[in-house]
Amino acid sequence: MDVYKRLEEKINELIERVKQLDTEDVLGYIGAMLFAGKTGNLFELTGLSSPIKQLLYLGGLLLSTPEPQTKIEFNEKRYNELTTLLEEIANTYSLLFFPDEEEMKQGLSEQWKKSREVTMPVFLHYFNTVSLSYEEQQLLRIEKWFLPFNEQVEQEVGVSVQDILEWYSFVKESFKKPFENTKVLNDQYQKEIINFFETASKEGLGFEEIMPKITKTKATNLALQLVENVSLLFHISIDDMKQRFGEEKSNRLIEIFSIKREQRDFRYYTEKNPFEIAPLWRKSPNYLMCLEPKLLLNAIYDFLYSVMESSQYKNSWYKRRDIETENQTVEIIRGLFGNQAEYFTSVFENDKSQNEHDVLVIYKDTILIVEVKASKFKEPFRDPDKAYVRIKRDFRSDGGIQKAFEQGLNLKKLLLSNDSTNLYNQKGEVIKTIYKEDIKNVFIICLTAEDTGIVGTNLSLLLEKPEDEPFPWACNLYDFSTLIDAFIYKKLSPEKFIEYLSSRQRLHERFLSTDELEIAGFYLRYGSFQQLEKSSATHYFLTPDMSDIFDEIYFEKNGVEFETDAYCQHDEFLDKFIDFLEANGWHFGGGTKADRYRGE
């Protein structure tokens, strides 16, 4: 009860602070952070441990209070006060998993410890993360899973999947345009202003003398255009939208995916956040405010998923979803193994269409048995004991990792217990005969469509298996695609991936991470796990920056420089301009470059 009391106090304090602030000030600041974080370190920029989720929570609380009559200034000091409270709230939730005084007196059973070992990281991962997939990955999934039900979705909600995707493209382009225009204008302005200040310096002019002259230069006109463009950052024109999509569809899209600032019952970090469901702020009859298009794409995916799950077409959609997930799995693996491997889908152990296996890959003397599970990961309960029961039940369900492992293990045993094994298609025809003497390695891979967090990266927490059987490898499809793409980009061979699976298998129980890309990132950075295997450590905790290598590859492929620890690109103009202003009595706070630029 002390934990809940503390939680309520911190939430109340945060709401009291937020409700005095201007909507555009706060959302604009959040948007700027998210934009800068695309090619920089968002953790350092924000001072938050789960920045995207915590900033969205802040936005959700803000938009769930009425617009204040009297507003107070939103500055860096107030932002720091808010982030302190956001961190305290997030940290307080973790205290729910620690023992209270009564439990300590009674002694902690092994069952108590086991349940917290699982539920705490699952709970915190579930509520502290948003979809980390790349835009292209999520768009592909929407197109494969939902676009075939285009007309059915339109019947259910009034707009089709195609309408929603075209509208997303419109929002994304509208979002990008002011930034691109600002970049062009800024480049022109810098050139003009640098020449102006250099001339003024040579002539020995001071601040008062320089101001009348600057108003007559081309730089002033460019500056006005620049200010106008900056005022349009994060803004989406409703008039342009209606001109493109018509009044009726535009209003429906606005109704589904945008939100007004008004009093609503939203308080808790673990509740459904109205700002995640509808991530566009309805600023006025003329403008929506979009902080980051990827947040809208996440909302679109969740919306379409819930529409199909509650529709009369649910079962046929599930079937489509499962087939497309298996097909994509083969495409991803084929990207690395190419024509050197054989690929089979819907493989049966006998001619009676019994014991089906999703994907089988044969590469030289190695066999990959890939079982694919596309069902969604359920939200964990707040109560640790109840949460443990649900997590374990989901893990062992027909759509869970335990079932995938058992299916794969059945085939592995069959292949290794007979000199030769026939495999069949659904018609009962033999499609492949495998000889045991040709097999050196058999890996079981459990692929999930959704992120399962630590129960997937460290299967020793929940998986039941024979003692002498090595752990399978579990990964979600988004991360699997990213990982294989990185191997391809770095021109690594299929053998290198097999080596990853083998060493990952040996060290499986030691990794304490909720993200497979942190583990794979370490492997790619250092070329192996050798330094971990040589260490005396019983467990390895990998930090989030280990997965930066995948962002570096992604941005490199798209021609964007990825900066890990910079606030912004320092350029000649800003250096000269800030030096000039400080020489004339202006103050930007702090002495470091980062402080100066953040002040600017």
Q: Would you say 54 and 86 are in contact if contact means Cβ atoms under 8 Å apart?
A: yes
CB 345 within 8 A of CB 326: yes
At 562 the pLDDT is: 55
- pLDDT score at 124: 86
Round to whole Å and give the CA distance between 135 and 49: 23
Half-sphere exposure of 504 (CA within 13 A, CB side): 29
Return the pLDDT at 36.
84
Using CA atoms, how far apart are residues 410 and 399, in angstroms rounded to an integer?
Answer: 17
Pairing of strands 473-476, 420-424: unpaired
Q: Summarize pLDDT for 487-534 with one digit per residue, the tens.
A: 999 999 999 999 999 999 999 999 988 899 999 999 999 999 998 888
pLDDT, tens only, 226-277: 777 777 789 999 999 999 999 999 999 999 999 999 999 999 999 999 999 9
Alpha carbons within 13 angstroms on the beta-carbon side of residue 245 total 25
| Percent of residues, the chain, with pLDDT higher than 70 | 92
Going by C-alpha positions, the residue among 356, 301, 316 that lies closest to residue 130 is 301
pLDDT averaged over the chain?
Answer: 88
The pLDDT confidence band at residue 596, using thresholds 50, 70 and 90, is very low
Most confident of 34-43, 210-219, 250-259, 387-396: 250-259
Detail the DSSP E strand segments found in 374-501: 420-424, 430-435, 441-448, 473-476
Q: What is the mean pLDDT of residues 45-59?
A: 92
CA dist 337 to 205, 224, 359, 365, 372, Å? 68, 55, 14, 13, 19
Confidence of residue 376 (pLDDT cuts 50, 70, 90): confident
Residue indicated by tokens 């998986």: 463
Cα separation, 540 vs 169, in Å, equals 42
Q: Confidence band (pLDDT; 50, 70, 90) for 435?
A: very high
C-alpha closest to that of 463 among 541, 512, 405: 405
* pLDDT over 60 (residue 75): yes
Residue 54: is its pLDDT beyond 50? yes
Q: Is the pLDDT of residue 197 over 60?
A: yes
Strand partners, 361: 343, 368
For the segment 308-316, the average pLDDT, to the nearest whole number, is 95
Query: Does position 574 have pLDDT exceeding 70, yes or no?
Result: no
- 207 pLDDT tier (thresholds 50, 70, 90): low
The pair of three-digit structure tokens given for residue 111, joined into one six-digit string: 């069952």
Specify the higher pLDDT residue, 477 or 104: 477
Q: What angle do CA 573, 578, 583 make, to 5 degrees?
A: 130
* 360 pLDDT tier (thresholds 50, 70, 90): very high
CA separation for the pair 503, 415 (Å, rounded): 23
The token pair at 402 is 């335990």
pLDDT in tens, 165-176: 999 999 999 999
pLDDT reading at 550 higher than 90: yes
- pLDDT in the model for residue 564: 47
pLDDT of residue 599: 42
Distance from the first to the final alpha carbon of the chain: 45
More confident residue, 204 or 163: 163
- At residue 593, the pLDDT reads 42
Query: Residue 350 carries which side chain, given as an amino acid letter?
Result: N
Query: Which residues neighbour 52 within 8 Å (Cβ) at sequence distance 6 or greater?
Result: 34, 42, 129, 130
Residue 258's SS3 state is strand
DSSP for 33-47 reads HHHHHTSS-HHHHHT
For residue 600, pLDDT beyond 60? no
Q: What is the pLDDT of residue 590?
A: 44
